[in-house]
């Protein structure tokens, strides 16, 4: 998936002056002037009789914002929706976008891991790939490495997602003139023991390998061979995803992590969906997310 193939981005505007998502979109627009960037403002606090007045105000605000960005194809969409995430997701669905770019919301309490923030809901439900940006200015302090965080066992079941993520991560790395690294975590089944839960894995049955680390190293070698990746750039990690991925990001000074969401994924499955948000909270780079459900028909 070359970045030049991406034609239309939806950028969710924040209701304040700083706009990390739009900052990042502007950087991509400089690399590809043909990109159409659509700044989407979702208003959720309104009364129906006030809509026309709000529209005039928001369009005026956008014109002021437009003047501060050197984006050739920058357009504006105003959406009225009581639920910001639902309004933005509907616009992404209806507008034929290639990518959604949103800003990360800071997690302030344990409660935030269980009550979906706007960015959490979008990450989990979006039908188009999502780029989550923490702080566009922090890219100056990171390197050019791109990490593809992939569960090798799930990759065998969701090959279309595997291929899409690899192609995307490779394209991002190439555009940054950086290196692509692949990371897989062997997550403890019991926090007190370093042993993975492989009881339901078809791969275990097919290979006869029942040691989590041995199996992951074999799958890592197969993945590296299939995608022609240097072995030094393939990392099999032991521990919690939300600890090991940020640690690797720090060591490599990674500017981006590419991840997939699948029904049972170690990385972003429904049970462990908060892990992705903890990863996002602890790294300086962006997170690129693709939902396997988007590619379901092609995986069947």
Whether CATH 3.40.50.300 fits 142-299:
no
Judge whether residue 106 has pLDDT over 70: no
Q: Which two tokens stand for residue 84?
A: 């910001």
State the average pLDDT over residues 103-115.
56
Identical fold, 3-136 and 142-299: yes
Domain boundaries, the chain: 3-136, 142-299
* Residue tagged 């959406």 (tokens): 79
Average confidence (pLDDT) over 198-223: 62
Q: What is the pTM of this model?
A: 0.83
Q: What percent of the chain has pLDDT over 90?
A: 41
**Average pLDDT of span 1-5:** 56
C-alpha span between 71 and 75 (Å, rounded): 10
Phi-psi region of 253 (alpha: psi -120 to 50; beta: other; left: phi over 0): left
pLDDT at 275 over 70: no
Mean pLDDT of the chain: 80
From the candidate CATH numbers 3.40.50.150, 3.40.50.620, 3.40.50.300, 3.40.1440.60, the one assigned to the domain spanning 3-136: 3.40.50.620
pLDDT of residue 154: 66
* Residue 132: exposure state from Cβ atoms within 10 A (0-12, 13-18, ≥19): buried
């Amino acid at each position: 998936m070359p970045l030049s193939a991406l034609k239309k981005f939806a950028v969710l505007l924040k209701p304040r002056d700083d706009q990390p998502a739009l900052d990042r979109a502007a950087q991509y627009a400089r690399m590809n002037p043909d990109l159409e960037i659509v700044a989407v403002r979702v208003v959720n606090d309104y009364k129906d009789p006030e809509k026309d007045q709000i529209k005039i105000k928001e369009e005026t605000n956008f014109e002021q914002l437009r003047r501060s960005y050197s984006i050739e194809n920058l357009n504006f969409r105003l959406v009225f929706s009581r639920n910001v995430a639902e309004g933005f997701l509907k616009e992404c669905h209806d507008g034929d976008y290639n990518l959604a770019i949103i800003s990360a919301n800071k997690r302030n309490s344990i409660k935030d891991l269980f009550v979906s923030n706007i960015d959490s809901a979008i990450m989990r439900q979006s039908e188009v790939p999502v780029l989550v940006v923490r702080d566009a200015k922090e890219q100056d302090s990171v390197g050019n490495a791109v990490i593809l965080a992939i569960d090798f066992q799930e990759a065998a079941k969701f090959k279309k997602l595997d291929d899409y993520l690899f192609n995307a991560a490779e394209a991002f790395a190439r555009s940054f003139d950086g290196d692509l690294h692949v990371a897989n975590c062997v997550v403890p089944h019991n926090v007190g023991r370093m042993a993975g839960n492989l009881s339901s894995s078809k791969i275990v049955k097919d290979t006869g390998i029942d040691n989590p680390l041995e199996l992951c190293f074999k799958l890592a070698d197969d993945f590296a061979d299939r995608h022609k990746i240097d072995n030094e750039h393939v990392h099999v990690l032991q521990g919690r995803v939300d600890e090991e991925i940020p640690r690797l990001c720090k060591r490599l000074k990674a500017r981006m992590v590419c991840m997939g969401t699948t029904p049972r994924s170690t990385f972003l499955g429904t049970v462990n969906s908060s892990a992705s948000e903890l990863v996002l909270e602890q790294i300086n780079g962006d997170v690129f997310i693709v939902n396997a459900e988007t590619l379901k028909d092609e995986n069947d």
